[in-house]
Structure 1
Amino acid sequence: MMIRYQADADLNQAIVTGVLRREPTIDFQTAFAAGLEGVKDPEVLAMAAQQQRILVSHDRRTMPLEFAQFMTGNQSSGVIIVSRKLPIEVAIEELLLIWAASSAAEWINRIAKLPL
């Protein structure tokens, strides 16, 4: 199964736009399209898991803990935390590489930080 991404509400939209410009066939849902503005982390994680999407977020402060708590009774499609210090171009390249070189099954119940 191909990787599908879900942008968290805090993710820089330029990353989503850049990924889709480079590879229009990637399924990368914006936070706006998913209605995530103001939604709490546990609900965001549940929505992404239900839709089998890897959540892409800048939230390295609370998301890892929320992910760990979510995992106690649920399965996740994965979470990728993108450092705000990472140049947008590098974040785009790494997300494209993950999409091209791995499968969705490899990300189940996994959390990773970019840069890898």
Structure 2
Amino acid sequence: MICYLMDENVNPLYQIQLQMRDPDLVVWAVGDEGTPSKGTLDPEILIWCEDYGFILVTNNRTSMPVHLTEHINQGRHVPGIFILNPNMSIGETIEELILIAGTSDDDEYQDTIRFLPITQ
């Protein structure tokens, strides 16, 4: 089962809309109970995602590739990272994330960064 962790800089509407559209989908956000607190550094968030099996959804295009490379070079793994596309509407992004969750294998995106949209 695919689970999403929304980065703290992602608009909260994504989490709200995903949960409204698909109540069975696990969508947490940084700062929610049980997740890394707001202000947690990206390398620590990647460790949390690895430990708990969550794909990170972020708009961090600049430093996240560097953090993922360092994470993997330490012999670690991550279920995946999805980077939001600023040219997609919230609705288009919600549809994309629901489609991905419903049609993907749990390890399909392991150790990769994917820029949305990944379905065409």
Range of TM-score over shorter length: over 0.9
**Aligned twin of 2:54:** 53
Which whole-Å CA distance do the structure 2 matches of 1:49 and 1:84 have between them?
A: 26
Which whole-Å CA distance do the structure 2 matches of 1:36 and 1:4 have between them?
A: 18
**Aligned twin of 1:76:** 78
**Aligned twin of 1:28:** 27
Q: Unaligned stretches of 5+ in structure 2?
A: none
**Aligned twin of 2:11:** 12
Question: SS state of the match for residue 73, structure 2?
Answer: coil
How far is the alpha carbon of 1:26 from its aligned partner? 0.4
Question: SS state of the match for residue 107, structure 1?
Answer: coil
Q: CA deviation digits over 1:78-106, x for unaligned, max 9? A: 11111233211111011001000102111
The one of 92, 98, 108 aligned to 1:90? 92
TM norm structure 1: 0.93
Count of residues in correspondence between the two structures: 115
How far is the alpha carbon of 1:49 from its aligned partner? 0.8
Which whole-Å CA distance do the structure 1 matches of 2:104 and 2:116 have between them?
A: 15
Question: SS state of the match for residue 31, structure 2?
Answer: helix
Identity of aligned residues (%): 28
Higher helix share: 1
Question: SS state of the match for residue 80, structure 1?
Answer: strand
RCO higher in 1 or 2 (8 Å CA, sep ≥ 6)?
Answer: 1
RMSD: 1.1
Q: Unaligned stretches of 5+ in structure 1?
A: none
Which whole-Å CA distance do the structure 2 matches of 1:84 and 1:36 have between them?
A: 25
